[in-house]
Structure 1
Amino acid sequence: MYRTTLGVDGMMCGMCEAHVREAVLKALERNLIAAKKVTASKSNKTVVVLAERPIAEKLLRTAVEATGYETTHFRCESYVEKGFFARIGSFFSNN
């Protein structure tokens, strides 16, 4: 699993977050990338994608910038789910 984070400047409200989130989801869908979770946060100024494979920086930047928002930092890193349900899921997937 990978967590990809892109900085986004200009989100001011919940509708802005939804707009960015939907743009990213559509871009991922067009590129046949299944995302487990996509979140946009105006307070953190980010959009975060959890997916089984790394997401290309250009793909995310293009999707977000097409909506009129400015992008900043980019980071893609391995991600291990934490918590009770992740442990249960890993228990069943190993059998």
Structure 2
Amino acid sequence: MVKTVLKIDGMMCSMCESHMNDLIRNHCKVKKVSSSAGKGETVVISENELDLAMLEKEIEGIGYHLLSSHAEPYVKKGLFSFGK
């Protein structure tokens, strides 16, 4: 699994976060997506890497700007992983 952090300019409120989450869900096969207007980022957990060129175009299409992105392997933490 892959964790991708998208830095996005233009999100101002919870409705902006909702629009961004919907856009990501509609264009990519994801396990989880969450956005934060305060942090200016969207975090996506997916099986495969995202098509960033397509996402940048779609994000621009709804009035936001993709500033940067960072992908890293994601390992799900289990219930008893807190002591490791």
The TM tier, using the shorter chain, reads: 0.7 to 0.9
One-letter code aligned to 1:44: K
One-letter code aligned to 1:19: H
Find the structure with the greater CA-based Rg. 1
Segments ≥4 residues shifted beyond 6 Å: none
Cα separation, 2, equivalents of 1:51 and 1:70: 21
Task: Identify the residue that residue 36 of structure 2 maps to in structure 1.
Answer: 41
Displacement, 1:83?
3.7
Of Structure 1 and Structure 2, the greater helix share is in 1
* Cα shift readout 1:71-94 (whole Å, capped 9, x = no counterpart): 101111111112418x6xxxxxxx
Residues matched between the structures, number: 81
Unaligned 5+ segments in structure 1 are: 29-33, 88-95
> 1:24, 1:63 within 8 Å by CA — same for their partners in 2?
no
Task: Identify the residue that residue 45 of structure 2 maps to in structure 1.
Answer: 50
TM-score, L = length of structure 1? 0.77
Aligned-pair identity in percent equals 36
Task: Identify the residue that residue 8 of structure 2 maps to in structure 1.
Answer: 8
Of Structure 1 and Structure 2, the greater strand share is in 2
* Cα shift readout 1:1-53 (whole Å, capped 9, x = no counterpart): 1011111111111001001111111111xxxxx21101111011111110111
CA RMSD in angstroms comes to 1.5
Cα separation, 2, equivalents of 1:58 and 1:47: 16
